[in-house]
Every structure is written in structure tokens, then in C-alpha cells.
Amino acid sequence: HHHHHHHPHHSPSTMASQRPRRRAAPAVGQAAQPASAAAGKRRAQADKAAEESAPQRAKLEEPDTLLAELEALRPDLATKWKEAEDDSLHFSKERIDDATGVILAKLLASNKTLTSLRLAENALGDEAGKALAEGLKTNKKLRKLNLSRNHFGDEAGRALAEALKINTALRELHLHDYQLGDEAGRALAEALKTNPNLKELYLAGNKLGDKAGEAFAEMLKTNLKLRTLGLEDNNFSAGMIKSIRQAAKSGKVHQGLLGL
């Protein structure tokens, strides 16, 4: 509907058949044309802007709608969410599955009060992990997120790493006891090169090998914000552990905190 401003470019013969009056009063036609073209252009830009922001609006679903969905699946959690007195929620060991996790993630996306959320020891898989990553991209309040002992794989790990490139609110992220491998490890290390505020990252008990170790060592040389990096019980070689410790000395992550 916003292509009407292209008319002036039609050949004269089609113009004539569409608007015979144009030729009778060329002066008026010419004077009016730039203005209407400009207006058309403005309208087109407005339409385009509206289209571009529409997905944004759709992405952040209304909390009420989401709470109703949560209510249907898990009334117990919905009540806890609504009645959260302080700014932290403990949803650990609540048998939360992917579907419920996705709703919680969407609630988190637009939430402006929670600073701490614990979702450890649930049944969250990659879908919930990816949804939580999306939520973190728009959440500006959450400081601590504990996702330990769930069922994420590298896909969710990579998504969370992407979120850490955008999110600047999070200070503490717990991802221990997963099956996270080198790919997720490298992505997280990469994200920490640019993330300005994360101070604690817990990755103990995963399947990180030397490829991930190398990326962490490189990141530790330049990241001066990180205070704690838990990397114990992974699959690093003795040589790699030495390299990581060496690298940590140049930053602020102290040896004792590395757990290596």
C-alpha cells in the first residue's frame, strides 16, 4: 500500500490513461508532485519503522498473558512468581521442564524487579536454555542466574554466550554440572572478551577440553572484570591447566578461585 509514491516514474502514456487531468494543468501537477512524493516517502518510512519494531513488540509478550500460561501449567510457580516479596526467586529442584522454562524465560525478558533467579537442578533442556538466552538479551535487571545441573547441551551454551555479548546486567552465571563441551566453552570465553560486567562464571563439572581451555587462557589475559572462574572437574590436560593458571595471573582471577 505504500508504493503510490512511485507513480511519477510511469511512462507518460500510462499516466495519461490513469489521470487525464494531469496534462490539463501541468503547473499544479508539478508543484504538488514533490510534496506528495515526500509525504509518500515519509509514510513508507513510518510503515517500515512500524514493521521493524513489530517483531520486537511481539517478542516481549505481556506478563499477564504469560502468567496465565504459567498458571495453567504450574499454578504453584505462578503464585510464587506473583508473590515474590523480595527481588530473588528460588526455583531450584522444582521439576521445571522445557515448556515451563520457556514461559519463565519470556517473563524474565521484560521483568524489571528480579535481581536473582535460581533454576538449578530442574529438567531444562536446550529449548529453555535458548529462551533464557533470548530473555537475557532484553533483561536489564537480573544480576545472578543459577542454571546449574539442568540438561543443556552446546546449543544452549552457545545461545547463552551470544546473550552475554549483549547483556550488561548479569554479574554471576552458574552453569556447572552439564555436558557443555569445547564449542560452548569457546563461545563463552569469546563472549567474556567483550562482556563488561560479568564477575563470576561457574563451569565446573562439564566436558570442557583443551580447545576451550585455550580460549579461556587467551580471554583471561585481557578480561579484567572477572573475579571467579570455576573450571574444576573438566577434561583439561595438565599442561592446559598450567597455561590457564599462568594466564590468570595477568588478570584479576586469582588462582584459588579457579578451582584448578
Each residue's pLDDT tens digit, 120-132: 999 999 999 999 9
At residue 79, does pLDDT exceed 80? Answer: yes
Q: What percent of the chain has pLDDT over 90?
A: 67
Residues 81, 84, 88, 92: is their CA dihedral positive or negative? negative
Block residue for cell numbers 499477564:
64
What pLDDT score was predicted for residue 87? 94
List the grid coordinates of 14. Answer: 500510462
Share of the chain above pLDDT 70, in %: 76
Mean pLDDT, range 172-176, rounded to an integer: 97
The model's confidence at residue 260, banded by pLDDT at 50, 70 and 90, is: confident
Q: Phi and psi at residue 87, in whole multiples of 5°?
A: -100, 20
**Which residue(s) pair with 174 in the sheet?**
146, 202
Query: What's the rounded Cα separation, in Å, for the pair 102 and 70?
Result: 10
Band of residue 17 on the pLDDT scale cut at 50, 70, 90: very low
How confident is residue 250, by pLDDT bands cut at 50, 70 and 90? confident
Higher pLDDT, 37 or 159: 159
Cell of 175: 552453569
Q: How many CB atoms lie within 10 A of CB 57?
A: 9
Per the DSSP assignment, residues forming a β-bridge with 201 are: 173, 229
| Gap between the Cα atoms of 136 and 83, Å rounded | 22
Least confidently predicted of 21-25, 77-81, 173-177, 229-233: 21-25
Instruction: Give the closest residue to 172 by CA, choosing from 199, 153, 142.
Output: 199
* pTM (predicted TM-score): 0.76
Q: Label residue 57 by pLDDT band (50, 70, 90).
A: very low
What residues contact 235, with CB distance under 8 A and at least 6 apart? 207, 208, 209, 210
Residue 40: the pLDDT is 63
Cα dihedral 124, 129, 131, 135 in deg (nearest 10): 110
In this predicted structure, what is the pLDDT of residue 98?
Answer: 97
